[in-house]
Amino acid sequence: MPAIDPDELPKKKIVHEMGQDLSLLSVGELTERIMLLREEIARLEAEKARKSASKSAADSFFKK
């Protein structure tokens, strides 16, 4: 039976809970979470912009 290479194991998905105790996290883990949250903020802002554009188009169409 071949040995299992730890690099080939599936990585655990980082999950951040709002208000979570941060004192047990390393600097690297904090950096990963900051990047994760920035990506999520960008995703939220993109969706907000898409919905705002759609709403503006509908408002323009129905106001005529």
Written as six digits, the tokens of 10 are 């599936």
**Tokens coding 9:** 């194991």
Helices (H), 1-64: 27-63
The two tokens of residue 33 are 């979470």
Residue pLDDT tens, the chain, 64 long: 567 777 777 777 778 888 999 999 999 999 999 999 999 999 999 999 999 998 888 888 887 5
In the prediction, which pLDDT does 63 show? 79
Residue with tokens 């912009």: 49
